[in-house]
C-alpha cells in the first residue's frame, strides 16, 4: 500500500474557516453528510487520527477499513446525488495523472477570502463531490484511499466549505513540498533533536542541492565579516570579492552554496548602481560565472541571474520609490506606525528572511546606520477592546550581542515586555521546533506538515533566527492598548546593543476576565 503520510496528504493541512457545516440547508449535501456519518461510524472503519479540524467548517479523518462494504455504501450515495452536484471528480488506479491536480476554493468571504487548495493524488482511489448553496458557498466531500496487500483500505475522509470551486493544475515546483525536501527536513530535524549543538551535515539549497552546512555557514559568515562596518556599495563589493576568493577552490557543490548566497545578496541590494560601480564588480561576477561553466545548469543560473539582477540596478530609476511605497503599504496593511527610528536606516520593512523561507513575505525590520545606535519603535493601537486579560504573541529576531534590549511590548495602564532572543540570522526556536516536529512525525508515521518542512529548510536548513515571543497577563481596563516592537531605551529602560531587529505576525488574544477589585 502506498503510504498516505508525507506527500500524499501533507498538503491537506490548509483548513477552511467559512460558515459552520450544520448551517447548510442543501438537501443533497445533508444526505451526503448522513452517508458520511454512516461510513465513519461503521464497525469495519477504524479512525486513526483527526489531523485537521477547525470548528465545524472543515474536518479530515484518517481511517483504515477492513472490508469493502462501508466504501461501497458511501459510493452508492455518491452516485445517487452526482447529478445534483456542481462539481465532482473521481479516478482510480491504474489511471495516472500527468501532473498533480487540486481543488481550488476560496476560504471565508468571496471577495476577501484566502485561496485554499485540496490536492488530488494519482496514487489513491479518489472520489469528490461538491454542492452549491444559494450564496455561492459550496459544501463538499473527498474520500481517498489506497489498498494494501491484505485487503485493508487506508486513507482520508474530508468535509469542507468554501467558495468558487475549480480544478487547477499544480505546476509550480517552488510551491510544492517534494519528497526530497521532506527527507532533507527529516535529516535537519534528526540533528536538531539529538544534538542541538552539532553541525548539520547537509544543507538544503534552493530545492535541489545538499552541501556541507558548515561550508554554507562559513560562506554566509565570511560575507557578514567583510561587511560589518560598511553599508551600500562598499558592503556589496566586499561580499562579492569574498565570494570570488571562495570560488577559486570550490567544487561543484560548494559553487551551489556560493551561487545561492550571491543571488540572495544581489536580490537584497537596495540601492542603485552607477555604471562605474557596476564596472568594479563585473569582473568578480564574470570570474565566478566562468568558474561555474560545466556545472549543473541550475548552478550556472545562480551566477547568470545575479549578474542580470545587478546590471538592471544601473538603470532602475524608479525601483527605490516603488519599494518605499510598497513598504509603507505593508505598514498600512498591518495597521502599524513607525514612531521612532533614531540612528536607523530609512526602510521600515523588508522581505527575504521570513521564518517560512518565502522570499516574498514582508516583515517589520530596523537596522542601525554604520555608526549609529538604533532606537526604534513600531506600534499598533487598539481603542475599543473588551476589558480583560490579554495575551500578545509575535515572531521576532535580533542580532547577537549579549542581551540586546530588543522587545515585543504591550502598554495599557502598565508596560509589559518580552525580550526577543538574540539568535542573529541562524536558528531560532521557530525553526528548531518545526524541524523537531518534522522528525517526530516521521518517527510516528504521521503526516508531515508542509509548513513545518518549509520552516525547517529556511536559509538552507539553518533557519533565520526567529523565535516566538509571548507577552502574558496584559491587563486592559479602558479598552485601549498599544503594542508592537521596540528597542527604545526611553521605553524599555535598556540600551540596545545589537544592530538590527525584525518582527512579524502579531496576534492579540483575550484570555480572561479582569479580577474583581476588593472593596476597602
- What are the pLDDT tens digits along the chain (520 aa)? 333 333 333 333 333 333 334 434 678 888 999 999 999 999 999 988 765 554 456 778 888 998 889 999 998 888 888 888 877 767 553 333 334 567 777 766 554 556 666 666 555 678 888 888 767 778 888 888 877 767 788 888 888 888 777 776 554 444 456 667 788 888 889 888 887 776 677 787 776 777 887 888 888 888 877 765 566 788 889 999 999 999 999 998 899 999 989 998 888 787 788 888 888 899 999 999 999 998 988 899 999 999 988 988 886 555 556 566 667 788 888 999 999 999 887 778 888 899 998 877 889 999 887 667 899 999 999 999 999 999 999 999 998 766 679 999 999 999 999 999 999 888 999 999 999 999 998 888 777 888 898 899 998 888 999 999 999 999 999 999 999 999 999 999 999 988 899 999 999 999 999 887 655 4
CA-to-CA dists, residue 282 to 269, 273, 277, 278, angstroms: 15, 12, 9, 6
* 177, 453 contact by CB (below 8 A): yes
Cis bond before residue 215 (omega within 30° of 0):
no
Q: Which residues contact 180 (CB under 8 A, 6 or more apart)?
A: 207, 208
DSSP H/E element including 381: strand 375-382
> Which DSSP string do the residues of 62-102 spell out, in sequence order?
EEEESSSHHHHHHHHHHHHTGGG-SEEEEE-TT---SSEEE
DSSP H/E element including 287: helix 275-291
Q: Which residues contact 445 (CB under 8 A, 6 or more apart)?
A: 5
Q: What is the largest CA-CA distance in the chain?
A: 84
Q: Which residues contact 331 (CB under 8 A, 6 or more apart)?
A: 337, 338, 348, 349, 378
Of 175, 136, 140, 176, the closest CA to residue 158 belongs to 140
CA-to-CA dists, residue 304 to 258, 277, 284, angstroms: 13, 18, 12
Helices then strands, counting H and E runs in the chain, come out as 13, 20
CA distance 15 to 52: 7
Q: Which residue is listed with cell 525580550?
A: 419
* 457, 185 contact by CB (below 8 A): yes
Query: What angle do helix axes 275-291 and 297-312 make, rounded to 10 degrees?
Result: 180
Q: Which residues contact 52 (CB under 8 A, 6 or more apart)?
A: 12, 13, 15, 58, 59, 60, 158
Strand, helix or coil at 4?
Answer: coil
CA distance 57 to 417: 36
* 67, 148 contact by CB (below 8 A): no
Amino acid at each position: 500500500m502506498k503510504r498516505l503520510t508525507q506527500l500524499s496528504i501533507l498538503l491537506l493541512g490548509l483548513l477552511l474557516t467559512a460558515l459552520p457545516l450544520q448551517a447548510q440547508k442543501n438537501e443533497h449535501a445533508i444526505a451526503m453528510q448522513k452517508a458520511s456519518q454512516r461510513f465513519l461510524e461503521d464497525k469495519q472503519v477504524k479512525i486513526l487520527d483527526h489531523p485537521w479540524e477547525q470548528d465545524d467548517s472543515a474536518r479530515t479523518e484518517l481511517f483504515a477499513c477492513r472490508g469493502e462494504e462501508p466504501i461501497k455504501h458511501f459510493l452508492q450515495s455518491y452516485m445517487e446525488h452526482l447529478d445534483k452536484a456542481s462539481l465532482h471528480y473521481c479516478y482510480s488506479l491504474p489511471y495516472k495523472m500527468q501532473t498533480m491536480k487540486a481543488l481550488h476554493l476560496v476560504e471565508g468571504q468571496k471577495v476577501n477570502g484566502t485561496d485554499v487548495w485540496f490536492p488530488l493524488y494519482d496514487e489513491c482511489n479518489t472520489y469528490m463531490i461538491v454542492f452549491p448553496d444559494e450564496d455561492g458557498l459550496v459544501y463538499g466531500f473527498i474520500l481517498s484511499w489506497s489498498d494494501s496487500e491484505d485487503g485493508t483500505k487506508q486513507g482520508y475522509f474530508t468535509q469542507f466549505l468554501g467558495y468558487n470551486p475549480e480544478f487547477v493544475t499544480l505546476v509550480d515546483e517552488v510551491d510544492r513540498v517534494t519528497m526530497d525536501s521532506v527527507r532533507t527536513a527529516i535529516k535537519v530535524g534528526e540533528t536538531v533533536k539529538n544534538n542541538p549543538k552539532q553541525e548539520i551535515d547537509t544543507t538544503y539549497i534552493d530545492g535541489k542541492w545538499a552541501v556541507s552546512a558548515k561550508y554554507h555557514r562559513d560562506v554566509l559568515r565570511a560575507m557578514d565579516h567583510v561587511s560589518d562596518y560598511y553599508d551600500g556599495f562598499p558592503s556589496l563589493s566586499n561580499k562579492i570579492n569574498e565570494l570570488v576568493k571562495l570560488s577559486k577552490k570550490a567544487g561543484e557543490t560548494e559553487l551551489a552554496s556560493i551561487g545561492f548566497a550571491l543571488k540572495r545578496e544581489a536580490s537584497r541590494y537596495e540601492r542603485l548602481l552607477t555604471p562605474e560601480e557596476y564596472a568594479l564588480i563585473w569582473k568578480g561576477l564574470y570570474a565566478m560565472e566562468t568558474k561555474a561553466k560545466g556545472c549543473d545548469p541550475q548552478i550556472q543560473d545562480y551566477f547568470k541571474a545575479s549578474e542580470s539582477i545587478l546590471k538592471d540596478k544601473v538603470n532602475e530609476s524608479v525601483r527605490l520609490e516603488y519599494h518605499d511605497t510598497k513598504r509603507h503599504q505593508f505598514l498600512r496593511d498591518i495597521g502599524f506606525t513607525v514612531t521612532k527610528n533614531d540612528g536607523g536606516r530609512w526602510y521600515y520593512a523588508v522581505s527575504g528572511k521570513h521564518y517560512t523561507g518565502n522570499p516574498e513575505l514582508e516583515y517589520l525590520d530596523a537596522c542601525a546606520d554604520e555608526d549609529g545606535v538604533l532606537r526604534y519603535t513600531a506600534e499598533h493601537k487598539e481603542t475599543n477592546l473588551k476589558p480583560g486579560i490579554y495575551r500578545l504573541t509575535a515572531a521576532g529576531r535580533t542580532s547577537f550581542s549579549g542581551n540586546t534590549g530588543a522587545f515585543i511590548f504591550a502598554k495599557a495602564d502598565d508596560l509589559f515586555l518580552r525580550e526577543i532572543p538574540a539568535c542573529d540570522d541562524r536558528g531560532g526556536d521557530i525553526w528548531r521546533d518545526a524541524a523537531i516536529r518534522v522528525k517526530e512525525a516521521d518517527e510516528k508515521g504521521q503526516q508531515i506538515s508542509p509548513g513545518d518542512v518549509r520552516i525547517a529548510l529556511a536559509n538552507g536548513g539553518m533557519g533565520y533566527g526567529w523565535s516566538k515571543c509571548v507577552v502574558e497577563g496584559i491587563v486592559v481596563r479602558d479598552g485601549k492598548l498599544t503594542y508592537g516592537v521596540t528597542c527604545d531605551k526611553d521605553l524599555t529602560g535598556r540600551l540596545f546593543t545589537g544592530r538590527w531587529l525584525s518582527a512579524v505576525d502579531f496576534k492579540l488574544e483575550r484570555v480572561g476576565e479582569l479580577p474583581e477589585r476588593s472593596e476597602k
